Structure 1
Amino acid sequence: MYDNLSDAPLSFSRVFSPERLSIGLLTPLEAYPNSPFPTLAEHVRMAKLAEEAGIASIWLRDVPFYDPNFGDAAQMLDPLVYAGFLAAATTEIALGTAGIVLPLREPISVAKQAASLDLLSNQRFVLGLSTGDRPVEYPAFGVDFEARGELYREAVEYIRYLQQESFPRVQTTHYGKLNGNLDLYPKMPQRLPLMAVGRSRQPIEWLAQHVDAWIWSVDDDKAIAEIIASLAQAADGHPAPAYGYSTFFDLDENPNAPYQRFYNVVRIGRNALIERLQRHQALGVQHVALNLKPASRPAEAVIEELGSYVIPALG
């Protein structure tokens, strides 16, 4: 957690600020309600359109395999490769992962890839880390699904050592050992933001003390207030992680359409959306990441409406 927002890189402060709620988009940047596979048509133009509209961030999902039982292949491209591509196509928007399935990845490689992306994007990268939501992937990697929480914790701490210490000395249980004779490059001018995505099998107390931000799926008013209060209490006098949530999203063409929820999809008109986000902003929510997969309108129309009406209303 950053003691002062001025100490945080631009990637973090653009997305997370106690002064305002920001809006991000999950990839792919298109509506594809009737297929598990996106087209990726004009995805570069859509990223630039999102940046011009004032969208704070683009979040890339880590989905190694297509699972027919899950029904969504995300953006299909590897998130870290894709982030590098988008870094070259944009100039200001924050780029992040939501999130890298850390127990299925080697943490030294993740640390180096993240540092490389941060450098190439001019400090626009946020490393979001998760344990994933698809158990079927774990056997393919030969990783114990039941150990994912422990693997996640150790890998997060290993990444912190690698990025913040020079010639670190680290002995891990599940990964490797550093004896102080090796150093990881490139070095970053400021500490890279780490974000938990989902609960990642961790208690609130651990999240409050080990990550800079937390994106979950909980968007109920009462639950939000309880989560933010719990994070503040668990932080024990230190700055608590920023809280945000993600949701499948369908912006109704009728600006006066009320809030509706269909399982995990929010369908809403812009006026009710503005009121809802202002209320959540007052509760302390700092970011909302929208997944346009179920959208009934083209993503371009949704992004333009968010930029013209919703984002300005949030201050």
Structure 2
Amino acid sequence: MNALTEHDLSGALAAQPAYARLFSPGKLTVGLILPLETHPHRPAPMMRDHVAMAQKADELGFAALWMRDVPFYDPQYGDVAQIFDPIPYMAYLAAFTRRIALGTAGIVLPMREPMILAKQVASIDQLSGGRVVIGLSSGDRPAEYPLFGIDFDTRGERFRDAFEVFKTVIEKDFPRFSSARFGSSSGTHELIPKPAFGALPTIAVGRAQQSLAYIAEHMDGFIGSSPVPQQLPAFAKQWRDQVSESCGEERFKPLGIGGFLDLVEDRDEPLIRTRGGFRAGSRSLAYFLRDAQAAGVNHIALNPKVSRRPYAELMDELASEVLPHFPSH
């Protein structure tokens, strides 16, 4: 069996259920960043009823559940995401959900062994029926890198090195590669399993110390921090122009934004930009997302952990006021 061509990979990607659920030209979908719990004044969530909450998100029609990669608690940052490592947690939630995409936002790739990571995520993709989207980042916490014996300043080139190995072994049959950091193969070994539909979406979460040109050429999409609403059209145009330049005018590669959401009780309270996200009423959020969709944004990943209301109530309100305008595909 030969390695998939670029055309074959593009077709396989479009057929993969997670990618198809999340991304379509001219349309925007809504996902949730875990944990599915509000805890504005505590570093760690309680993780009570976390499976039932994931099932609720699935049933309400959210597009994706995004899991962050925070290996250690650092009091300086005061945040441990969803506590559980995203790789086994994706597999666990896959067993309890049916349609919702399962993503990482994002795996700190310079601190991961790329061949083992490829084996793990391809296995989960097979077991979940193609519901995995792998978001990748370089990490932004300098204190973590010495724990792994890695120089923080090399994370950009380590990311490129690891990503090339990851993509090679997950997409090519009996691949040949040579890496200064992550081993080599003369084509005598095959990674098993491969992704369920022949391709696995790789999304840059943040710039990962890379140029936008690198991301557009080598990765399948980009999720960045949202600029202020007035700058969204320019933000989206910059991405579209770069994809056209790197991959051709007809090539679609999705653009996403992400951030915290403080969803207030007054559904008409105007949206304002806050540190790392937004504060808004649900109707005002929907107006903002209409503008984001018109600008060319294809997905938003929201983290309501900073809200002060019960999370189940927030999900119900988003499902009634926001999701009807931005349904999952």
Structure 1 length-normalised TM:
0.96
For the pair 1:299 / 2:317, whether they are aligned, the reply is no
* Aligned-partner SS, 2:43: coil
Q: Is the 8 A contact 2:114 2:166 kept in 1?
A: yes
- Matched letter for residue 118 of structure 2: A
Q: Is the 8 A contact 2:30 2:326 kept in 1?
A: no
Answer with 188-197 or 219-228: which moved more.
Answer: 219-228
Answer with 221-230 or 255-264: which moved more.
Answer: 221-230
| CA root-mean-square deviation | 1.6
Q: Is the 8 A contact 1:53 1:307 kept in 2?
A: yes
Shift of 1:226: 2.6
Alpha-carbon displacement from aligned partner over 1:41-76 (angstroms, at most 9, x marks no partner): 000111011111111000011000001010111111
- Matched letter for residue 210 of structure 1: H
Q: Return 5+ residue gaps in structure 1 as ranges.
A: none
Q: Pick from 183, 187, 203: which aligns with 1:180?
A: 187
Q: Which residue of 1 aligns with 2:291?
A: 279
Alpha-carbon displacement from aligned partner over 1:256-291 (angstroms, at most 9, x marks no partner): 111123322411011111110001000010000011
For the pair 1:29 / 2:27, whether they are aligned, the reply is no
1 CA distance for matches of 2:59 and 2:26?
21
Q: Which residue of 2 aligns with 1:158?
A: 165
Shift of 1:252: 1.0
Q: Which residue of 1 aligns with 2:117?
A: 110
- Matched letter for residue 47 of structure 2: L
2 CA distance for matches of 1:139 and 1:240?
38
Q: 1:222 to 1:266 in 2, by over 3 A?
A: closer
Q: Pick from 152, 168, 171: which aligns with 1:145?
A: 152
Q: Which residue of 2 aligns with 1:17?
A: 24
Shift of 1:229: 2.2
2 CA distance for matches of 1:258 and 1:224?
17
Q: Which residue of 1 aligns with 2:220?
A: 212
Shift of 1:5: 8.6
- Number of residue pairs matched? 315
- Matched letter for residue 286 of structure 1: N
Alpha-carbon displacement from aligned partner over 1:13-49 (angstroms, at most 9, x marks no partner): 1111114211101111100001001000000111011
Answer with 215-224 or 138-147: which moved more.
Answer: 215-224
Structure 2 length-normalised TM:
0.92
Answer with 19-28 or 32-41: which moved more.
Answer: 19-28
Q: Return 5+ residue gaps in structure 2 as ranges.
A: 1-5
Q: Pick from 253, 257, 261: which aligns with 1:241?
A: 253
2 CA distance for matches of 1:5 and 1:277?
29
Q: Is the 8 A contact 2:90 2:124 kept in 1?
A: yes
**Identical aligned pairs, as a percentage?**
43
Shift of 1:308: 1.3
